[in-house]
Amino acid sequence: MSFIQDLMHYEFLQKALFTSVMVGILCGVIGCFIVLRGMALMGDAISHAVLPGVAISFMLDINYFYGAAVMGLLTSIGIGYISQNSRVKSDSSIGIVFSAFFALGILLITKASTAIDLTQILFGNVLAVRSSDMWLTLIIGAIVLLIVILFYKEFLITTFDPTMAEAYGLPIRFIHYVIMILLTLVTVASLQTVGVVLVVAMLVTPASTAYLLTNRLSTMIFLSAFFGSISSVAGLYFSSEYNLSSGAVIVLATTVLFILAFIFSPKQGVLWRALRTRKNKAAL
Amino acid sequence: MKAVLGLIPKDKGEVKVLNQPVKLVRKRIAYVPQRNNLDWDFPINVFDTVLLGTYPHLGILRKPKAKHKEWAMQCLKEVGMEEYSHQQIGELSGGQQQRVFLARALAQNAELFFLDEPFVGIDVSSEKTIIQILKKLRDRGKTVFVVHHDLTKVEDYFDDLILLNKELIESGPVQKVFTPETITQAYQSSMTILEKVGVGV
């Protein structure tokens, strides 16, 4: 209960709560498209590759958001360019590009500036959320959610059946890059809460949990956002009460939800499946 | 077929459909892809799949309304799959899946229908249902193109035939094109080399 009292009293906790819930929702929503398009590795790549952008922004003394967004975009374009113009397969080109960017980022941060705390960027610290971070997350959130709501239909069809989408004239390439931009924005918004290294878990795990529980994309998106945000709250609670790394706790919370769904999901869960197989065998 | 629709790059030449470049008439064409190109675990049910057929004419930013849903249901009834409307698409048999995608093509309200190997790996009764619907479409004045390579049914199913093996061998009414000579030419003497045979209804 003391957590709730603290929440009433301390403004920094309120900011942290608001930001982490927002991040949970955003990662949950975009994560659904990432999972269904088979781009989990791409999500990992973009989150790592924003690091040099963060470093350069600090050097130029601008908000880290701009540098990170530019780097995220460069990464997705670079990956696309390599896999389309050589025989190198897509997952390998993702590996090449993002590790290069990540390495560059580490060098830039450690050598060029002492003002940034590398561990904070890598692993997040939800309790250190400033007002400017909170507003940034809110604005990014509003933009991302608005775009997903407006173009839900187009995102659905290009994810499910890109051939049909192209056959009736949708610009599927363009839509792919729109989703990459949204992914970059969400990653940047999550830096403060979960950190670069673990963003991919926020993108992939709540969405996969939801995927096991429903057969409708819209329901999957709502469930995924819900799982993402309650995991964030759990992360905030444990990191403020027990002084644990917020990113790590959030990710483990999403994992617990996933394991529960994996075992108990009515349609896909291993438990009911095993029971059903036994019943069928007994019936024979 | 994909090259005709501009979905893969072509070596050279220009494709005109309804006397216009394909780009301008995309919304008057319904395309039914090969079944193996889809993610059958996608979280979508039968009804919502058919509803996708209304998207081309909705344009961006508009959502399907009650009348679109009614229309999608009507298309689903036409292929006899209305009782499966809430099932996830991966739970259906191959033939049922093909019927659902035909219903989606019907929902597109197109003039031209392009079907890529619709009869591969499906049951006999679904094949019958599909061919009946295709013939109904023909009677309504629509044009249906089918990529097909089961030679035994050609004469029953189709009115016109385009025979291809790397190059055009023959095209025209089935009776004229479907002769032992042209088939031998298409399959290059021994019938063991099976190349795609394109057939139009």
Q: Decide if A151 and B39 are in contact by the 8 Å CB cutoff.
A: no
Residue-wise pLDDT tens digits, A239-255:
888 888 888 888 999 99
Residue-wise pLDDT tens digits, A262-283:
998 887 788 888 888 888 888 7
- Read off the tokens for A249: 């706790």
What is the distance between the alpha carbons of residues A208 and A195, in angstroms, rounded to a whole number? 20
Residues of B in contact with A169 (CB under 8 A): 23, 26-27, 56
CATH number for the domain harbouring residue A121: 1.10.3470.10
pTM over 0.80: yes
B124 CB contacts (<8 Å, ≥6 apart)?
none
Residue-wise pLDDT tens digits, A53-101:
888 888 888 888 888 889 988 888 888 888 788 888 888 889 898 899 9
pLDDT at residue number B189: 54
Which CB contacts under 8 angstroms, 24+ apart, belong to A116-121?
A116/A54, A116/A55, A116/A58, A120/A195, A121/A51, A121/A54, A121/A191, A121/A195, A121/A196
Q: Give the nearest partner residue to A160 out of B5, B44, B64, using CB atoms.
A: B44
Burial class (CB in 10 A: 0-12, 13-18, 19+), B10: exposed
What is the distance between the alpha carbons of residues A76 and A80, in angstroms, rounded to a whole number? 6
Closest CA to A27 of A213, A172, A214, A232: A232
Q: Give the nearest partner residue to B29 out of A163, A167, A219, using CB atoms.
A: A167
Does residue B196 surpass a pLDDT of 60?
no
Residue-wise pLDDT tens digits, A133-144:
889 899 999 999
- Chain B residue with CA closest to A36: the answer is B42
pLDDT at residue number B193: 39
- Output the DSSP codes for B80-118: T-GGGTTSBGGGS-HHHHHHHHHHHHHHTT-SEEEEEST
Q: Which domain covers residue A139, as residue numbers?
A: 2-283
Closest CA to A153 of B53, B74, B150, B61: B61
- Tally of domains in chain A: 1
- Output the DSSP codes for B141-196: T-EEEEE---GGGHHHH-SEEEEEESEEEEEEEHHHH-SHHHHHHHTTSSTTS---
